[in-house]
Structure 1
Amino acid sequence: MNIDIKKITEGQEYVTIRYKDLTPSMKKIIGILEGTDDKLWGKTDTGTASISIGDLLYLESVDDKLFAYTKSIVLKIDGSLNSFMTDYDDGSFFRCSKSMVINVSMVKSLKSLSSNRIDATMEGGEHIIISRRYASEFRRLLKGGR
């Protein structure tokens, strides 16, 4: 990908994006420029609310319902884990089990467990178990591979 950045002193600012395929990374860039990519809307006990994608600790699928967790709020959102990963994954989210996705940038500490599992402590203090099926991929991600 070629990037051309120029500072101007007068005239109107503009951005042109040219792409072959609308990848998740391109969707994120477009969303940031349009100001629409940083919010996730859902329902709480008291009504509808939004959270910033950056504040998201993890998502969990329970009984075909999807919940998004931050340090202070839980939202029931539409969709599935697969659709979330397709729409929002820019490398900062990781599928850690069949029913859960974590925000890697919100992991506070890691601990190896028996049976090749990993205990990830999130910024909010929650302990998320990365199943053995996904643990080796998570270790590769931490080493810089994907």
Structure 2
Amino acid sequence: MKIDIEKITAGEESVTIRYKDLTPAIKRIIGILEKTEDKLWGKTETGTVSINLHDILYLESVDDKLFAYTGSSVVRIDGSLNSFVTDIDDESFFRCSKSMVINVNRVKALKSLSSNRIDATMESGEHIIISRRYASDFRRLLKGGR
């Protein structure tokens, strides 16, 4: 794939993508470029707050409530885990179990476990288990596919 980058001093910035086949890599690039909203609103003990998507370590669904965990806080998000996965067009988030989604950009270390599971150590030191149902997709993601 050839990449042309040109700095302009005036006029509107634009990106043109020319492709023969719409591959997963091209779709990922388009998704990144189309992404305009990178914040979520939620509730903490002190009130309503906004959090940047890149600050989220993982999301967890507990008793039909969705929580976003950052390095310093836990934020209650409206909606369900399924709606988050469907609505967020961000390749950084990966469904790792029935009740959790992790931000793969915030994973510090990985360890293979028995029964084809993976232990993901997050930047905060917390351990998230990627279930065997999602482990093969996660390995594929690490190799560059989705």
TM range (shorter): 0.7 to 0.9
Alignment of 1:82-93 (within 5 A): 82-93=82-93
CA distance in 1: counterparts of 2:69 and 2:110, whole angstroms: 19
Q: CA deviation at 1:29?
A: 3.4
Q: CA deviation at 1:139?
A: 1.0
In the alignment, does 2:33 pair up with 1:29?
yes
Alpha carbons 1:24, 1:88 under 8 Å: kept: no
3-state secondary structure, aligned to 2:9: coil
CA distance in 2: counterparts of 1:6 and 1:131, whole angstroms: 44
Tell me: CA distance 1:119–1:143, structure 2 relative to 1, closer, same or farther (3 Å): same
3-state secondary structure, aligned to 1:109: strand
Report % sequence identity.
73
TM-score by length of 1: 0.80
Which residue number in structure 2 is paired with residue 99 of structure 1? 99
Q: CA deviation at 1:27?
A: 6.6
Q: Which runs of 5+ in 2 are unaligned?
A: 17-26
Alpha carbons 2:59, 2:66 under 8 Å: kept: yes
Q: Size of the alignment, in residue pairs?
A: 135
Tell me: CA distance 1:16–1:109, structure 2 relative to 1, closer, same or farther (3 Å): closer
Deviations 1:54-113 (A, max 9, x none): 111000000000000000011000111121112223221110000000000100001111
CA distance in 2: counterparts of 1:110 and 1:27, whole angstroms: 26
TM-score by length of 2: 0.80
Alpha carbons 2:44, 2:74 under 8 Å: kept: yes
Tell me: CA distance 1:38–1:129, structure 2 relative to 1, closer, same or farther (3 Å): same
Counterpart code for 1:54? H
In the alignment, does 2:50 pair up with 1:47?
no
Q: Which runs of 5+ in 1 are unaligned?
A: 18-22
In the alignment, does 2:73 pair up with 1:73?
yes
Alpha carbons 1:25, 1:89 under 8 Å: kept: no
CA distance in 2: counterparts of 1:25 and 1:85, whole angstroms: 18
CA RMSD of aligned residues (A): 2.4
Tell me: CA distance 1:24–1:40, structure 2 relative to 1, closer, same or farther (3 Å): farther
Alpha carbons 1:25, 1:90 under 8 Å: kept: no
